[in-house]
Amino acid sequence: MHNELNSQLMDIDRFTIQAYNDLLTHHEGLQQLVEKHEQLPQLVRDVWCMLYTGKTEFKTTSPLQILSELQEFPLFLQQAMGDKLITTLATLRFGYLFLRQLEQPEDESLEDAFKKEIQHVLEQVEYVEDLLSSLQQRKQERQQTPIYDQLALADALEKQSELQKMAEWAKKFKISAKQKRVQMKTASILKGTVTTGQKAERLLPIEYLKSETPEAELDFLVRFSDGRTRMYDYKERTKKEKGALIICYDESSSMQDLDVQGKGFLMALLSMAKQDRRDFVFIPFSGDVDYQQTQHFKKGKYKIPQFLQFAQSYIGGGTNFEKPLQQAIQFMKHSTKGEVLFITDGVCHIPEIVIEQVNAEKKKKQFYLMSLLIGHNKHPGQLTEISDEVLHLIHFQDIHHTRVFEL
Cα dist from 168 to 256, 268, 407, whole Å? 18, 10, 22
| Residue range 288-338, pLDDT digits in tens | 998 989 999 999 988 888 999 999 889 998 899 999 999 999 999 999 999
Q: Is the pLDDT assigned to residue 137 strictly greater than 60?
A: no
pLDDT score for 284: 96
Q: Is the pLDDT assigned to residue 230 strictly greater than 90?
A: no
Cα dist from 307 to 92, 156, 258, 273, 345, whole Å? 25, 11, 19, 14, 24
pLDDT score for 62: 60
| Residue range 243-277, pLDDT digits in tens | 999 999 999 999 999 999 999 999 999 999 998 99
CB 76 within 8 A of CB 69: no
Provide the 10 A C-beta neighbour count for residue 30.
22
pLDDT score for 9: 47
| Residue range 5-30, pLDDT digits in tens | 344 444 567 888 899 999 999 999 99
By three-state DSSP, how is residue 155 classified? helix
pLDDT score for 2: 36
pLDDT score for 240: 60
| Residue range 164-196, pLDDT digits in tens | 899 889 989 988 988 888 777 655 555 566 788
Beta bridge partners of 370: 341, 389
pLDDT score for 95: 92
Question: 290 Cβ partners below 8 Å, 6+ apart?
Answer: 251, 284, 313, 315
pLDDT, averaged across the chain: 85
Q: Is the pLDDT assigned to residue 4 strictly greater than 80?
A: no
Please state the rounded mean pLDDT for residues 53-81. 78
Cα separation, 193 vs 215, whole angstroms: 28
pTM of the entire structure?
0.77
pLDDT score for 117: 94
Question: 396 Cβ partners below 8 Å, 6+ apart?
Answer: 169, 173, 258, 261, 262, 264, 265, 374
Cα separation, 146 vs 152, whole angstroms: 10
Cα separation, 92 vs 32, whole angstroms: 10
| Residue range 328-387, pLDDT digits in tens | 999 999 999 999 999 999 888 999 999 999 999 999 999 999 999 998 877 888 999 999
pLDDT score for 7: 42
Query: DSSP string covering 326-339, please?
Result: HHHHHHHTT-SS-E
